[in-house]
Amino acid sequence: MPALPGSFRRVSLTTEPIIDLSRPITTSPPEPDRGTRFVYAGFLLVGMIAVLLGPLIPELQAVWGIDHAQTGTLFMMQFLASSIGGVLASLHLRRSIVSGYLCAALGLVCLIWGGWELARLSMAILGFALGLLITASNLLVAERNSANRGAALAALNLSWGIGAVICPLLFAAFTARLGAFGLVAVFATLAAGTGVVMALTLRDTPDVGRSSSAPEPVRHAPAALLLLIAALLFLYVGVETSVGGWLVTLSDQLSVERAVVSLVIGSGFWGALLVGRTAAALLLRRIAEPTLYWLSLATAAAGTACLFLAESRAGIAAGALLAGLGLASLFPLTVSILAEATSSSRSRLAGSVMAFGGFGGAFLPWLTGRLARSGEAGDSLSHGFMVPLVGLALLSGLYLTYRLLHAPRDAGALPGSTRS
């Protein structure tokens, strides 16, 4: 799903927004101006659309007769396109937001009526839209709330998190009445309507901060450090997307009929992710960031192992909650490292590194689906969960490498948090 430094100089190219964990969460969110008031409300829908594929997979497989390997290509198309959308979003924030909602509506419509033949194109359009929306919305809110950016971004990303939690619950509540594709049609209608509203409400909002003519700084972080951070982002986004995207399907394979409990489990994962990030902001006042990173890795690994070994929905539910709580802190802490490493080269260099997160979100879920087909028990998805488990092991090795090679000279450099 995304921490930003307090000055919001970094651009997210994943479908997950970012919460600043290096600052305490304020109890009084800022009052948005007229031009950005609707951006907060719209981001609730963005959160729903961003995790839509997870609860939709079982329906797509049943209707189109596709297997896990074929379904994995949908993740690949979505996240590759989201990286492109994230890069282009900074060119013009208002147009990116309006275009993002309209593209999301188009992608959802193509998904409904295009069938499997157009499914990959549909997910590419949808991913491109999410890249535009997440990046441009974060940038616009940050620029329009320069006096209180931390609180403004916390409020915005809280809206995304709530949407991610609600989406599976909506499928559980309304699929029987509307059908899965009927609910997607509702999302498409809401996206189109929100695009029109944004076009009207953001019309008089200055598109600030994108045309700075300031010279590019000449000091850059070491290439080896940037490659290491890019690998951390690649693995994290890939692991989170593999777990969150395939979780409902993993639970569903334990029953002949689709169960509402599977959708609730999927919602619980995103809820645990949201709760974990809120708790991490409080924990960082008492423990060092490296300590929290290792604890989070251990928790995420334990949860993913439960998913890999689980033979009941109770085991899957426990694994989902542990994985969500563990993964919650890893991405923001990684972006905190990136923020310091690129503090002298502004957002352009950071954006290039962040693009690797989108590549991880494209590749690891696809590999999870491919590996599921080669299991001894036939098309058992549990075999595929070896991918995020190995991803977390590699993540541990890369973070240890960072601590040994780069952290000593950076110690104490990052603002607003305890250091070891």
Domain carrying residue 246: 37-205+219-405
Q: Residue 206 is which amino acid?
A: P
Q: Is residue 25 a part of any domain in this protein?
A: no
Mean pLDDT of 120-137: 92
Question: CA–CA separation, 184 vs 389, rounded Å?
Answer: 31
Q: Which pair of structure tokens corresponds to residue 163?
A: 């949407």
For the stretch 67-122, pLDDT in tens is: 888 888 999 999 899 888 887 887 888 899 999 999 999 999 999 888 888 999 99
Among 153-162, 199-208, 405-414, the least confident range: 405-414
Q: Is residue 413 a part of any domain in this protein?
A: no
pTM of the model: 0.75
CATH of the domain at 282: 1.20.1250.20
Q: Select, from the ranges 14-28, 214-228, 352-366, the one with the highest average predicted confidence (pLDDT).
A: 352-366
Average pLDDT, the chain: 80
Q: Is residue 307 a part of any domain in this protein?
A: yes
Mean pLDDT of 181-197: 95
Question: CA–CA separation, 420 vs 414, rounded Å?
Answer: 11
Residues linked to residue 378 through DSSP beta bridges, in sequence order = 375
- pLDDT, residue 81, reads 92
**Secondary structure of 51-100 as H, E, C letters:** CCHHHHHHHHHHHHCCCHHHHHHHHHHHHHHHHHHHHHHCCCHHHHHHHH
For the stretch 196-242, pLDDT in tens is: 999 988 876 555 444 444 444 445 567 888 899 889 989 999 999 99
Q: Is residue 22 a part of any domain in this protein?
A: no
CB atoms within 10 A of CB 91: 12
Q: Is residue 237 a part of any domain in this protein?
A: yes
Q: Which pair of structure tokens corresponds to residue 162?
A: 């709530």
Mean pLDDT of 8-21: 46
Asked whether residue 411 carries a pLDDT value surpassing 90, the answer given is no
Closest by CA position to 152, among listed 17, 267, 45: 17
Please, which pLDDT band fits residue 149 given cuts at 50, 70 and 90?
Answer: low
Check: CB of residue 326 under 8 Å from CB of residue 301: yes
Mean pLDDT of 350-365: 80
Please, which pLDDT band fits residue 5 given cuts at 50, 70 and 90?
Answer: very low
Q: Give residues with Cβ within 8 angstroms of 289, minimum separation 6.
A: 333, 336, 414, 417, 418, 419, 420
How many Å from the N-terminal Cα to the C-terminal Cα in the chain? 27
- pLDDT, residue 78, reads 92
Check: CB of residue 82 under 8 Å from CB of residue 92: no
Number of structural domains found in the chain = 1
